[in-house]
Amino acid sequence: MLPAPTPAPPAAPTANPAEAVLTIANVSLAFGENHVLQDFSLTLLRGENIVVMGKSGAGKSVLIKCVIGLLQTDSGTITVLGQDVAALDHNGLDRLRTKLGFLFQSNALYDSMTVRDNLLFPLRRQWLTHTPAQEAELVKQALEDVGLADTAAKMPAELSGGMRKRIALARTLILRPEIILYDEPTTGLDPITGREIDHLIREVQKKYNTSALIISHDLACVRLTADRVALLSEGRCYAEDTYAGMQANADPQVHDFFV
Amino acid sequence: MSVSSILAETGTVTRFAGRVFREGFRPRFEVQELLYQCYVIGYQSLPLVGLTGFIMGLVLTLRLRPTMVQFGADSWIPVMVGMTIIQEMGPIITGLMVAGKVGSNIGAELSSMRVTEQIDAMSVSGTNPFKYLVVTRVLAATLMVPVLTVLSDAIGLFAAYVGINTNGVTTVALFTNQIVARLTFGDVLPAVIKTFFFGFAIGLIGCYKGYYADKGTEGVGRAANSAVVAGSLAVFLLDLLAVLISSLLGLY
Amino acid sequence: MTAFLLITNRLPLPTMPQRPVGNSIRLGAFVLTGLGCLLAVLFLLGRKQNLFSRSLVIEADFRNVSGLLTGNNVRLGGITVGTVKGITIVNDSTIRVAMSLNTDAQPFVRRNAVATVGTDGLVGNTIINLTAQPAPAPPVAAGDRLRTTTPASLNAMLGTLDISNKNLAVITQSLRRMATKLDTSAIWQLLNDRQLPATVHLSLGNVLATTAQLRQAAQNAVQLTNGVRRGQGPLGYLLTDQQFGGQLGHAARQLAGTSDTLAATLTGLKRQVQTGAGPVHTLLADTAAARQVRQSLRSVQQGTAGFNQSMEALHHNFLLRGYFRKQARKKARATADSLKRVGQAR
């Protein structure tokens, strides 16, 4: 199985005005009185990593759950790979999700299954059919990508936090997604393991030419993984720039994040 | 707990049950997972249910014996024990044991899956988690509790036979005939049918408590705990309902 | 995050993620065993209720089925041969019971078998007992209607009491007739007869036997009235039966007559003895005869006492109290009427 087709040439992401794979336009979402997102807009280009920063509870996780259709927006449109998420029916959403990866903050590995079954779960549940040999090959490939080739028979509970994160990434990669959504990939990990994960994110981006929307407030992670940084504040996209540009920004709100 | 919150809870559970039916009848059907849940809920509960059934039958017989002998009604012991086990004790004890074991298991499993985002992960992986997790478990509990009850009844009756044989010898044929002579379809069928409802209630409540668990550590514990409490209560309420309905229909 | 990990590690989650074939086999065995147990019980019950064996339907009409239910057993000589299939009311005094009979038992149930409603033990279900009759008859066929009987009840007991009262009347009548014969000229013929002692001896023996019978009859009456007092049931029968009361009165009158006649006879005899002439002397010299006379008189006394007692019992019996009260009222009214008439005549 080859990486997902890439119609647009994978040129330097920020340089060329490349194809937009994800467009978030004027999205608002409120839980009762709590207006989490208010008129939020952001565009992700092919092969590009965007890190969304923001305070805890600012609505970063809500944003990417809206992108993958786990939450419904109140207004605004989210267009993923040319399809309006809100307009899709159940099956359409499932098909779209085969091209989207989601790395959960708590990894969300199925405790009751081995690593192999965890990896095979999305493969078997999607509208894809594989022979057992193909499945074995895909599992092996995905585990090698994250550097844990010998853990296939283990249970998630036997693994360390960093290994679990890698397995979760492998489970995301097995479907060869075009866009990967990372929900705080380094939170809860020690700095060294965190850096390993950051490098892994970069490697995946290079190897499969994926785009990524990364939620983080870990500065090291942001510096290593971001092509662009967006600051989510009061429900809006407060600022948007490269890491260096953000660091140079004199705005007190932006500046506070980059001390 | 105030009345209005109880009513609200009942309403939500009812809507949850409605969703189980709605989604349960729509393809695709999670047959593999259903069979696995049947295995977990049914087969793996058998040792526990069987042991309680055995003890129940034995204790009932040995306790009943002195009284019955006083009345000179030794020959009625199999009938009394058989009727008690088949009509009430078997279904109730099985229901409670399953509510304790399976209800807490489902509540804890689903709530921990909710808390660790495994349920969201399933949605993302193109699986309807409601169908994959809830419908299969509710259906498996609905189907397995009657089987467990019948087996528990059988084991309980065997224990009663053992208990009777501790004081003198009774043949299996006599024991069976004494019970069957007094038993009617009206005794057996309602007792079996109500266990389907027991199973449905246990599975439904366990799934409901787990599926809508609060985020956080205590949410898991609370879900498991309240699944057991509400499940056991539901078993008793349904049993009361079953008695009322079958006496209305003139089956007793 | 770490907290979540801790929980998930501690949870009692199933540790069998792979689903090998063995699990399916175990599950299958488990389910089949359960279903097998259930089916076995249902089969046993079905066999008990003859759902699976071939059967034929016969009928019987009863006046009273004492709470018989559909599904109750039908027994022949104590062995269940079928079940009650349906109960219908034909009219106000006829309940038709349809019984489904096992074909295995068909040859043994004859067309002249008698069906009765009974109970299974002291507190058991109502059942139908089929009783075979000695006379030969062909086996029953579908749709046959069996004869029925009603087991003994208070009705039957009261019937017996009526008959024994009639008997009592007849006995006292004949006793009186006999005493009258003694009183009339025949007695003088007897007294003149040389063979008188022997004949009197013989007739006194007869009197003795008759009075003994009378006493027995009176005892019967006592027993029966006691039975009535204990029993309960159709009171109206006795209360409305004027004839029965009349018969009782008649019997009492006759008994009184008999005693009168006996008294008269004895006065005659006493006179004879006092004159000290004729074969009466011989008669009296015969101590055995005298003893017999005493005995027979005592028997008469006992008999009347017994009858008194039984009348007393009837008076106190709540069944008949109303009747006697009515009689007393009637008498009182009659007295009042006559008094009024006397007054008017004046």
3-state secondary structure B163-208: HHHCCCCCCHHHHHHHHHHHCCHHHHHHHHHHHHHHHHHHHHHHHH
Most confident of A56-60, A92-96, B15-19, B248-252: B15-19
**For residue C291, what is the DSSP state?**
H
Last residue of a domain, one of C103, C120, C148: C148
Give Cα C311 distance to the centre of its chain: 21
Q: Is C232 left (phi over 0), alpha (psi -120 to 50) or beta?
A: beta
Chain B's closest residue to C18, CA to CA, is: B36
**For residue B216, what is the DSSP state?**
S
CB-nearest to C30 from B43, B153, B184 is B43
What local confidence, expressed as pLDDT, does residue C153 receive?
Answer: 58
Identify whether residues C141 and C159 lie together within a single domain.
no
Residues of A in contact with B115 (CB under 8 A): 106
In chain C, how many domains are there? Answer: 2
Residues 6+ apart with CB under 8 A from B226: B107, B209
- A65 to chain C, minimum CA–CA distance in Å? 19
Q: Which amino acid is residue A20, in one-letter code?
A: A
Contacting subunits of B (3+ beta carbon pairs below 8 A): A, C
The answer to whether residue C36 sits within a structural domain is: no
CB-nearest to A106 from B109, B116, B128 is B116
CB distance from A121 to chain B under 8 Å?
A: yes
The answer to whether residue C44 sits within a structural domain is: no
**Helices then strands, each counted (H, E), chain B:** 12, 0
SS3 label, residue C74: strand
Residues of A in contact with B122 (CB under 8 A): 121, 125
Residues of A in contact with B217 (CB under 8 A): none
Asked if residue B82 has pLDDT above 70, the reply is yes
SS3 label, residue A29: strand
Asked if residue A126 has pLDDT above 70, the reply is no
- A168 to chain B, minimum CA–CA distance in Å? 10
Question: What are the structural domains of chain A?
Answer: 18-99+184-259 (3.40.50.300), 106-176 (no CATH)
* Measured distance CA(B217)–CA(B112) in Å, rounded: 8
The answer to whether residue C50 sits within a structural domain is: no
* pLDDT tens figures, C64-91: 888 888 878 888 888 888 888 888 998 8
Identify whether residues C138 and C159 lie together within a single domain.
no
SS3 label, residue A179: strand
ipTM for the assembly: 0.83
Identify whether residues C158 and C144 lie together within a single domain.
no
* pLDDT tens figures, A50-99: 999 888 877 888 888 898 888 888 888 999 988 888 888 888 888 888 88
Q: Dihedrals φ, ψ of A87, to 5°? A: -85, -5
What local confidence, expressed as pLDDT, does residue A13 receive?
Answer: 44
CB distance from C20 to chain A under 8 Å?
A: no
- Please, which pLDDT band fits residue A35 given cuts at 50, 70 and 90? confident
* pLDDT tens figures, A143-182: 988 888 888 888 998 998 889 999 999 998 888 889 999 9
User: DSSP assignment of C76-123, as one string?
Assistant: ETTEEEEEEEEEEEEETTEEEEEEEEEGGGGGGSBTT-EEEEEESTTT
Identify whether residues C283 and C191 lie together within a single domain.
yes
By CB atoms closer than 10 A (0-12, 13-18, 19+), residue C164 is middle
Identify whether residues C133 and C191 lie together within a single domain.
no
Per-residue pLDDT of chain C (346 residues), as tens digits, is: 444 433 333 333 333 444 556 788 889 999 999 999 999 988 888 887 766 777 888 999 888 888 888 878 888 888 888 888 888 998 888 889 998 888 888 888 888 888 988 887 666 678 888 888 888 888 888 888 888 887 655 566 777 888 888 888 898 898 888 877 766 655 556 566 666 667 667 777 887 888 888 888 878 777 776 666 655 444 445 555 566 667 777 777 887 787 788 788 778 777 766 665 555 555 555 666 667 767 877 887 887 787 777 777 766 666 666 776 777 788 888 887 877 776 665 5
User: DSSP assignment of C10-45, as one string?
Assistant: HS------S--HHHHHHHHHHHHHHHHHHHHHHHHH
Identify whether residues C203 and C117 lie together within a single domain.
no
What local confidence, expressed as pLDDT, does residue A146 receive?
Answer: 87
* pLDDT tens figures, A189-234: 888 889 989 999 998 898 888 999 999 888 888 888 889 999 888 8
What local confidence, expressed as pLDDT, does residue B87 receive?
Answer: 92
The answer to whether residue C27 sits within a structural domain is: no
Last residue of a domain, one of C148, C174, C192: C148
Identify whether residues C299 and C209 lie together within a single domain.
yes
- Name the residue among A188, A245, A248, A252 with its Cα closest to residue A221: A188
Identify whether residues C175 and C69 lie together within a single domain.
no
Structural domain including C73 reads: 55-148
Residues of B in contact with C30 (CB under 8 A): 42-43, 46, 147, 151
CB distance from B214 to chain A under 8 Å?
A: no
* Measured distance CA(B191)–CA(B50) in Å, rounded: 18
The answer to whether residue C226 sits within a structural domain is: yes
Contact B150 C8 (CB under 8 A): no
